[in-house]
Amino acid sequence: MIGTDPNLGREVVSAEVLRNRIAELGAAITSDYEGRAPLLVGVLKGAFMFMSDLSRAINLPVEFDFMAVSSYGSATRTSGVVRIIKDLDIDLTDRHVIVVEDIVDSGLTLNYLRRNLMARGPASLEVCALLLRDGLQKTDTDLKYIGFTIPPAFVVGYGLDVGERYRNLNAIVEYVGAE
Ligand code: 5GP
């Protein structure tokens, strides 16, 4: 599929490199949260695959919840105005929350989410982002766990889409088609 699709460019992070890094992130979270049961909050849809693999690399009694947000703007650009499409089911009061994000670009989505979730009284709130776009953040993102810092190219795969496609690629790949 990757080799024959003209919309896909070079591989940015291979499946094997993803696997190894996620094992490291899981080990770090396991040691940082020893004796606690963190609540993983996945940001749909892009983070679903990362959340699934990350959670299996964490050797603690984790719980799961999901949020879906949509940002206004074109398909490949965020405007910073965020709307909650699906809210959490679990009460965050006194919970140790880890927000699991696919990619932080401008940081505006995360900034909004952090403020929104902090208002719900968690015991702690940290962010684990699989990808951080190099140097483009418009706001202080304060990420505790980062998988990879990647160059400015728009990417798909491993949960990330364009028009709902490419989420099932097992690697992070540059998207070179029309927006
Ligand atoms: P931010 O608010 O940080 O600018 O954008 C974050 C959101 O924009 C991500 O959660 C993701 O949905 C989307 N996004 C940003 N960069 C990319 C990218 O390279 N590929 C894809 N598929 N989505 C992206």
Q: CB of 169 closer than 6 A to ligand 1?
A: no
75 in a structural domain:
no
3 in a structural domain:
no
CATH number at residue 63: 3.40.50.2020
Query: Order of strands, edge to edge, in the sheet holding 124-133?
Result: 82-86, 63-71, 39-44, 96-104, 124-133, 145-150
Q: What is the token pair recorded at 107?
A: 């940081």
Pocket test for ligand 1, best of 7, 10, 78 (most atoms within 8 A of CB): 78
Query: Which domain range does residue 13 map to?
Result: 8-67+81-175
Number of domains in the chain: 1
35 in a structural domain:
yes
Q: Is the pTM of this model over 0.85?
A: yes
pLDDT digits (tens, 9 = 90+) for 73-127: 555 555 667 889 999 999 999 999 999 999 999 888 899 999 999 999 999 999 9
2 in a structural domain:
no
Pocket test for ligand 1, best of 85, 99, 102, 142 (most atoms within 8 A of CB): 102
74 in a structural domain:
no
73 in a structural domain:
no
